[in-house]
Amino acid sequence: MKFIPITLLVILCSLITGFTFSITQSDKTRLLSNKQVAQWRADIDFMQQALERRHINLYHTVNAVFFKRELTRIKQQLTSLTETSLAIELMRLIQQVGDGHTQFAYWGTKYHRYPLELRLFDKDLRVTGITRQHKQLLGAKLVAIEGMAIEQLHKVAAPILQGVENIYSAQQRFTETIIIAEILHGLKISQSLQQARFTFELSNGDEFSIQLKSFYNQQFNNPDVDFIKKPTPTNFTHNKISIEGLDVHLSFDNQIAYLDFHHYPDSPAMQDFSQDLIELLRAKNTKEVIIDLRNNGGGDFFVGLQLAWALIMVDNLNWRDGLYVLTSRKTFSAAMSNAVQYRQLLNATLVGEPTGANPVGYQDAGNFKLPNSGWNVMYSKRLYKFQETSTLGVQPDILLAPDWELFRQGKDNQLEWILEDIHKRNKS
359-399 pLDDT, tens digit per residue, is 999 999 999 999 998 889 999 999 999 999 999 999 999 99
Q: What is the pLDDT of residues 278-310, one digit of tens each?
A: 999 999 999 999 999 999 999 999 999 999 999
- The residues spanned by each domain of the chain are 14-227, 236-357+397-427
Give the DSSP letter of residue 243.
B
Whole-angstrom Cα distance, residue 297 to residue 117? 16
Helices (H), 108-205: 150-157, 167-177, 181-186
What 24-27 contacts at long range (C-beta under 8 Å, 24+ apart), as own/partner pairs, is: 27/83
CATH class belonging to 236-357+397-427:
alpha beta
pLDDT digits (tens, 9 = 90+) for 160-202: 999 999 999 999 999 999 999 999 999 999 999 999 999 999 9
| pLDDT at residue number 229 | 87
pLDDT-derived band at 3 (thresholds 50, 70, 90) equals: very low
In whole angstroms, give the CA distance from residue 157 to residue 390: 27
Please tell me the CATH code under which domain 14-227 is placed: 2.30.42.10
